[in-house]
Amino acid sequence: MLDFLKNHPFAVEAFFEKSIVLTFAIPKVELRTFIPNCLTLDTLNDKFGFIAIALVQTKNLRPVGLPDFMGNDFFLVGYRVFVRYTNTAGKNLRGLYILKSETDKTLMEHLGNLFTHYNYTTTDIKQTQQANQLNICSKKSDFTVNLDLILGEIPLPKNSPFKDWKEARKYAGPLPFTFTYNADLQEVLIVEGVRQNWTPMPIRVINYHFGFLQNLEVSYPILANAFIINQVPYFWKKGKIETWNH
């Protein structure tokens, strides 16, 4: 009865204190099975598709128009596939398809699953920083990532399919659009994000482990890039729905 609420019925804003995104390359023939037919993979050289894992500390997340003090602070973890979608106007949109979302607070799980299709679950998140190294981990979600916070001229991750950071930056989330598909109604939900002062900086990943990637049962994902951005406002527009024409 209240399913319409899940379609992003109002605009939302937040402040990203920190957003770290690791992007992994996976052979496109294997990754294709994880997205609906209305979407196509956003590939590199028609060989690799990409999954982004975003680790985001948000502040004052709230519906647009409410004052800051009515917002809430959450840590969000998102697992997304880079995709493209051709809308009814014939425009090719580049964005992300949600596989799974996690948060450190039950409130966000309940609100996220009430107003979105992002499949939120609550998990434990621990952040520790020593000198110039940051560790973010979760026992429940079986992940850990160690990062070198000294920014500057750093090499691409070993075996990255990108030729340089300029090419790698094209696959630095979040992208302008996020898509959800309702197979029963054959409808695509499109949510547009608006970014300000968005300049991702390459960051060196010392080591990592994500149980989520192992559970996908695909060829070993290659860490292709990693970026960090600090202290930026973010805004999600109200969702738009259109019928997918086969």
pLDDT at 227: 96
pLDDT for 25: 97
Higher pLDDT, 62 or 2: 62
The answer to whether the CB of 172 falls within 8 A of the CB of 80 is no
Radius of gyration of the chain, Cα coordinates, nearest whole angstrom: 18
Residue 34 or residue 174, greater confidence: 34
Summarised one tens digit per residue, pLDDT across range 207-223 is 999 999 999 989 889 99
Q: Taking residues 16-42, report their average pLDDT.
A: 96
Would you put residue 90 in left (φ > 0), alpha (ψ -120 to 50) or beta?
left
**From start to end of the chain, where are the E strands?**
12-27, 40-41, 48-63, 72-86, 92-103, 120-122, 126-130, 133-138, 143-148, 177-182, 187-195, 201-202, 204-210, 222-236, 240-243
Instruction: List the beta bridge partners of residue 80.
Output: 52, 98
Question: What CATH fold (topology level) applies to the domain 3-241?
Answer: Acetoacetate decarboxylase-like (2.40.400)
- Least confident piece of the model among 61-75, 85-99, 115-129: 61-75
For the chain, the structural domain boundaries read 3-241
What count of residues does the chain have?
246
Residue 4: what pLDDT? 67
Return the pLDDT at 219: 85
Position 21, amino acid: V
Mean pLDDT on 26-53: 96
Give me the pLDDT at residue 167, please: 96
Alpha helix stretches (DSSP H) within 67-122: 106-115
- Confidence band for 2, pLDDT divided at 50, 70 and 90: low
**65 or 1: which leads in pLDDT:** 65
Position with higher pLDDT, 139 vs 198 = 139
* Range from 162-166, 230-234, 235-239 that averages highest in pLDDT: 162-166
Could you tell me the pLDDT band of residue 81, with boundaries at 50, 70 and 90? very high
Higher pLDDT, 61 or 21: 21
Closest C-alpha to 43, from 84, 78, 97: 84
Residue 187 — pLDDT band, cuts 50, 70, 90? very high
- pLDDT computed for residue 164 by the predictor: 96
Q: Give the list of residues 6+ apart from residue 156 with CB closer than 8 angstroms, or none.
A: 162, 164, 165, 168, 224, 225
Structure letter (DSSP) for residue 242: E
Could you tell me which residue, 189 or 174, shows the higher pLDDT? 189
- When mean pLDDT is compared across 45-54, 142-151, 214-223, the lowest value belongs to 214-223
Q: What does the pLDDT read at residue 174? A: 67
The whole-angstrom separation of Cα 34 and Cα 41 is: 10
